[in-house]
Amino acid sequence: MPITPATATHTSSNGTADAILLELVDEDGVTIGTAEKLAAHQPPGRLHRAFSVFLFDERGRLLLQQRALGKYHSPGVWSNTCCGHPYPGEAPFAAAARRTFEELGASPSLLAEAGTVRYNHPDPDSGLVEQEYNHLFVGLVQSALRPDAEEVGDTAFVTPAELAERHAKGTFSSWFMTVLDAARPAVRELTGPSAGW
């Protein structure tokens, strides 16, 4: 597993673990400060910058990720290929490429911006709130996956019909359909009409 500020254990001079900070933003996506990751997700939630990645194979199937059971937020549910938060000052594009490799062991190809979406999704299971200004990205995955078991429980490539069948079972993250619907124009441009997205 690659060691990064998100996965390494850091100890400050007073012996406590360093906090992971998120970038707080206003309604226009302009940075207004930072907050500790867990605190930003506690009710009512603080609006912060995030990203969501949608990668597809050569057949136009979407790569889904099942979040590892050990994650504090939305464990065990299925979601898009990769999602997360840039570090303060980190470009969302760079964060999306970095985290995709860290979580799945594969670098995205032809990664392209697909717009932004702002949402507020409480998670009834954890009590946490996703209050996010989310940067969307689409691309291809053209190499073998090597998922980090601490982040990823499972992966699956799905067609639109297979996704609809899975989603009907209600095993997806609270934000999944919001980010997918917002990314659909770019998804269709990337995958072409025959893929059915």
Q: Clarify whether 103 is annotated catalytic.
A: no
> What whole-number distance in Å separates Cα of residue 173 and Cα of residue 33?
27
- Among 23, 102, 103, 132, the active-site one is 132
- Among 23, 82, 83, 102, the active-site one is 83
Angstrom distances, CA of residue 154 to CA of 42, 90, 123, 147:
27, 28, 21, 8
Q: Clarify whether 82 is annotated catalytic.
A: no
Angstrom distances, CA of residue 132 to CA of 22, 152, 196:
11, 22, 28
What residue ranges in 73-159 does DSSP mark as E strands? 78-79, 82-84, 109-122, 129-140, 152-158
Among all residues, which ones are annotated catalytic?
Answer: 83, 132
